[in-house]
Amino acid sequence: MIDYINAIVVQKGLGYIIADCNNIGYRLLVSQNTSYELELEKRQMIYTHLIVKEDGMTLIGFSSILERDMFEILISVSKVGAKIALSILSTYTPNQIANFIKSSDTVSLSKVSGLGRKTAERLALELKDKVNVFVCEEVASSKKVINKDIKEDFLLEAIEALVMLGFTNKESTNAVEKAYSSDENADVQ
């Protein structure tokens, strides 16, 4: 499986991007959020999920590991394929989706184009225990604690990664803040 590609996005289309990696152009299906996050003509990490079917292979691209993980959880539910999962991720962030599932908010979920009430109920029922690894409202509130600058996304991603490894939100925030404040000139990439 292809975990990620380090590529330059050379074109964006409706629901897809073309990424140049070593003079090979990869067409990746993406959510609107990923399309917005990825910059044209800039080398960047694109996380992937490969779908292999009888009629061909499809590469799905994501701007973050968190988004890819949510995609993989969503497609584990019957009657939720890549198209609907990308539609959900185009409408909401992974943390919002996790909150809707945890609170069984099927009204918000069924606002997604192509997602009916019954499928929204199935998502809420089947994924309630699986979305616990996602940092929901707590990480969003951690944004206020961290100094807001251009490195904020990297710091937030570090907090999310630590929480996914089992640390509490408070421990993760403190560790990242301590590491950041120990050398503010350090490159967090």
* Structure tokens that stand for 46 in this block: 């694109």
- Tell me which of 3.30.70.260, 2.40.50.140, 2.60.120.10, 3.40.1160.10 is the CATH number of domain 4-62: 2.40.50.140
Q: For residues 17 and 26, what is the distance between their CA atoms, to the nearest angstrom? A: 8
pLDDT given for residue 30 in this prediction: 98
Mean pLDDT, the chain cut into blocks of 10 residues (189 residues total): 92 95 96 94 95 95 94 94 96 91 92 92 91 59 46 72 78 79 57
Model pLDDT, residue 165: 80
pLDDT (0 to 100) of residue 47: 96
SS3 content of the chain, % helix, strand, coil (to 5): 50, 20, 30
User: Residues 156, 176: contact at Cβ < 8 Å?
Assistant: no
Residue reference for tokens 């990297």: 154
> What does pTM read for this prediction?
0.71
Q: What is the pLDDT of residue 147?
A: 42
Q: Is the dihedral of CA 136, 12, 55, 25 positive or negative?
A: negative
CATH superfamily of 65-133: 5' to 3' exonuclease, C-terminal subdomain (1.10.150.20)
| pLDDT at site 182 | 67
Query: Do β-strands 4-13 and 43-53 pair in parallel, antiparallel, or remain unpaired?
Result: antiparallel
